[in-house]
């Protein structure tokens, strides 16, 4: 799947995060010519310099909020992967304008920088929380999707070769700031696990599968597409029991109720999207609505929405044994389990 990256120059915004680090490992196994890491975290960039010694890696300190820093670094790259975002639901609730600046305006800035340069393709990373959003993080990511799609629709009208695609997936197993490293630390320290609600469900996507989705979108996505990776899920209670089983140590759990604006179940594809989506096996493709505002031109009889949304409650909900298998099969989770000091 990575043949198109041969001799290509790649830029990753937010490249020091969990996705960026894993994506770098995948890219370094290809014949890619250059990988530029763009982020505002100098410590993590320095850690990467220490970890990797590959001459194809370059580092740039900057912020997607600042269009000038993007205008300096984006030109000269073939493909851009936009992973920079504020991702924590509770912190976005307390600082919603920061979510606007990074997730919405930052996306506008990277889109504009790509349009104004020779970039061939931009892949924007989104989240299940953008579907039927009820919190600031989800609303900001939903708007980021709309910003990208609107620009993709505009450039299609002028026959541009530049292409924008969006990827949407649920919780990535063991990603920084997620519940898995938090639970691992607490279990090892014999501390109580604070569980929002034992029956809550969450999608579970191995980091490797998230990378597969992004590469799939780069190669197969059409302009303004949203590509969704199908994922199993489990309840929060099952996840906690699975980690205790794997670590061989039981701790008490306390049900504390939902955090600020937290959903009971997550949705990856809305009912409205499911009725136009293409089922591609492991993926759903949601094509853009390419109609103009002149609706009379596109008049046709209305149709009912027959399909239901794709959620963490109606996907393949794993039992305890299957959850344990999924966790132990993930190389990223195994690294967390093997490490005495888990960063979360």
CA distance 301 to 51: 59
Which H/E stretch holds residue 237?
helix 236-247
Beta sheet of 121-127, edge-to-edge order: 57-61, 34-39, 9-13, 79-82, 121-127, 163-169, 226-229, 283-286, 278-279
Which residue in the list 44, 87, 129, 263 is annotated as catalytic?
129
Report whether 330 contacts 248 (CB < 8 A): no
**214: exposed, middle or buried (Cβ count in 10 Å: 0-12, 13-18, 19+):** buried
CA distance 87 to 174: 14
| DSSP three-state, residue 8 | coil
CA distance 163 to 332: 31
CA angle (42 as vertex; 2, 124 as ends), nearest 5: 40
List the one residue out of 195, 200, 324 whose CA is nearest residue 253: 195
| Residue the block writes with tokens 């924008």 | 164
The torsion defined by the Cα of 205, 27, 107 and 46, in degrees rounded to 10, comes to 100
129 labelled catalytic: yes
Question: Backbone phi, then psi, for 151, in 5-degree steps?
Answer: -70, -35
| Those residues with Cβ within 8 angstroms of residue 36's Cβ, 6 or more apart along the chain or in another chain | 9, 10, 11, 12, 15, 58, 59, 60, 73, 77
CA atoms within 13 A on the CB side of 279: 5
| Those residues with Cβ within 8 angstroms of residue 67's Cβ, 6 or more apart along the chain or in another chain | 109, 112, 113
Give catalytic residue positions: 129
């Amino acid at each position: 799947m990575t043949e198109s990256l041969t001799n290509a120059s790649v830029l990753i915004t937010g490249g020091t995060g969990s996705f960026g680090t894993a994506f770098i490992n995948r890219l370094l196994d290809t014949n890619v010519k250059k990988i530029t890491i763009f982020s505002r975290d100098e410590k993590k960039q320095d850690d990467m310099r220490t970890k990797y010694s590959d001459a194809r890696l370059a580092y740039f300190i900057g912020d997607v909020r600042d269009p000038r820093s993007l205008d300096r670094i984006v030109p000269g790259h073939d493909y851009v992967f936009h992973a920079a975002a504020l991702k924590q639901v509770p912190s976005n609730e307390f600082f919603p304008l920061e979510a606007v600046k990074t997730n919405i305006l930052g996306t506008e800035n990277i889109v504009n920088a790509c349009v104004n340069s020779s970039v061939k393709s931009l892949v924007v990373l989104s989240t299940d929380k953008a579907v039927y959003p009820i919190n600031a993080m989800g609303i900001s990511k939903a708007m980021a999707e709309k910003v990208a799609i609107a620009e993709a629709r505009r450039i299609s009208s002028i026959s541009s070769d530049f292409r924008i695609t969006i990827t949407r997936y649920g919780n990535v197993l063991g990603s920084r700031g997620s519940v898995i490293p938090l639970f691992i630390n607490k279990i090892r320290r014999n501390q109580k696990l604070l569980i929002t609600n034992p029956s809550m469900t969450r999608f579970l996507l191995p980091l490797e599968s998230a990378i597969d989705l992004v590469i799939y979108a780069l190669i197969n996505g059409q302009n303004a597409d949203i590509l969704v990776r199908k994922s199993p899920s489990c309840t929060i209670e099952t996840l906690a029991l699975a980690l205790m089983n794997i670590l061989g140590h039981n701790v008490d759990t306390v049900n504390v109720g939902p955090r600020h604006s937290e959903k009971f179940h997550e949705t990856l594809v809305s009912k409205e999207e499911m009725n136009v989506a293409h089922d591609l096996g492991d993926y759903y493709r949601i094509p853009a609505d390419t109609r103009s505002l002149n609706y009379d031109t596109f008049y046709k009889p209305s149709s009912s929405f027959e399909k239901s949304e794709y959620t963490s409650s109606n996907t393949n909900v794993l039992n305890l044994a299957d959850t344990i298998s999924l966790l132990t099969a993930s190389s990223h989770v195994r690294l967390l389990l093997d490490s005495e000091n888990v960063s979360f």
